[in-house]
Amino acid sequence: MVTSTQPRIALFGGIYSNHLALAAAIQDAQSRGVDALYCLGDMGAFGPFPDRVFPLLIDNDVTCVQGNYDNSIGNQLDDCQCGYTDPRDNYFAQISYDYTLENTCNAGRNFLRDLPVELRLELGPWRVLLCHGSPRKMNEFLWSSTTPGHFLAHLAGQHQADVICATHTGIKWQRALDHGRHFVNVGVLGRPENDGTTNVWYTILGCDQNAQPQVEFVPVDYDHARLAREMSNEGLPDEFVATIITGWWTTCLEILPAKERRASRF
């Protein structure tokens, strides 16, 4: 057990039904002695057996924020509200959504429906805001290459936060803002981040000895081969399975800005 005198919290991004990565991340974070666990939403999608995520979150006291997927499943809407614009991306998003809705129990749906859209906490001297897409819109994509610091500073000011933490894009990044403020996209546990590696990522947020925000991105290895088998057995698309096995996205690509797309294989 690692101990620390400074407060540190673990932040999990979209889980996308990847119960194996979630279990591994919880264990890893607990072994690092973090003070609390949070999840920034999108518990279901993409992966198999959405109900396997709920006991892990509840039994390990993971405090959760609602994502667009959770809002959709919780309220039994027609689609995931992911915000894709490309017909192929929407085709695969709908397959994923229909499977997840059908396989989420009533208790799970109610759990997702009742989640808050944001959480606020204090970490050292900093006011931290946890949300899914952005503080102003649950399904806003904040990509590293399309989000200037002065825009993030505007969000921080408007929403009275010093540190904003979000997910939704599937790719981790961070940016220091003026006056010591900070933005963090915490990454996701649900699928690899389109770089040809099979691990996923979560974030540990703390304060250093000078009370400055300290961000550590943590890679998580898990039994991805087992997840791929489970997905295949559940009849989920081969395209999704390929992403788990290869680490490259095969869908949801048209939403990427130029820099992020250039780093992509497909």
Partner 1 sequence: MTAPLIEISHLDHLWFQVSGTLCNLTCHHCFISCSPQNDSFGYLSLADVRRQLEQSVALGVKEYYFTGGEPFLNKEMVPILVETLGYGPATVLTNGTVLKEEWLQTLAAAEQESLFSLEFRVSIDGFSPETNDPIRGEGTFDRAIQGVSRLVQFGFLPIITAARTWPIEQDEQVIGKFVQVLRDAGYERPRLKLLPTLHLGAEAERTHGYRESERVTSEMLVEYDKSQLICEHSRIVTDRGVHVCPILIDSDDSLLGQTLESSLTPYRLDHGACLTCYQYGAICSNPSSSGGETKSEERGTTT
User: Contact residues for partner 1 (CB under 8 A)?
Assistant: 79, 81-87, 90, 133, 136-137, 139-141, 143-148, 150-151, 153-155, 253-262, 266
d(CA 100, CA 161): 33
- Burial readout 63-75 (b: 16 or more C-beta within 10 A, e: otherwise): ebbbbbbbbbbbe
Nearest residue to 190 (alpha-carbon basis) of 86, 39, 64, 65 = 39
User: Judged by CB, which is closer to partner 1: 113, or 261?
Assistant: 261
Q: How far is the CB of 259 from partner 1 (least distance, A)?
A: 5
Q: How far is the CB of 256 from partner 1 (least distance, A)?
A: 6
Q: Is 4 exposed, middle or buried (0-12, 13-18, 19+ CB in 10 A)?
A: exposed
Q: How far is the CB of 89 from partner 1 (least distance, A)?
A: 9
User: Judged by CB, which is closer to partner 1: 109, or 132?
Assistant: 132
Q: How far is the CB of 139 from partner 1 (least distance, A)?
A: 5
Q: How far is the CB of 255 from partner 1 (least distance, A)?
A: 6
User: Judged by CB, which is closer to partner 1: 28, or 140?
Assistant: 140
Which residues pair with residue 11 across a beta bridge?
A: 38, 203
User: Judged by CB, which is closer to partner 1: 48, or 135?
Assistant: 135
d(CA 168, CA 14): 7
The amino acid that residue 177 corresponds to is L
User: Judged by CB, which is closer to partner 1: 36, or 95?
Assistant: 95
Cα 230–235–237 angle (5° rounding)?
A: 100
User: Judged by CB, which is closer to partner 1: 38, or 141?
Assistant: 141
Q: Which two tokens stand for residue 122?
A: 């204090």
H-helix or E-strand containing 11? strand 8-12
Q: How far is the CB of 209 from partner 1 (least distance, A)?
A: 28
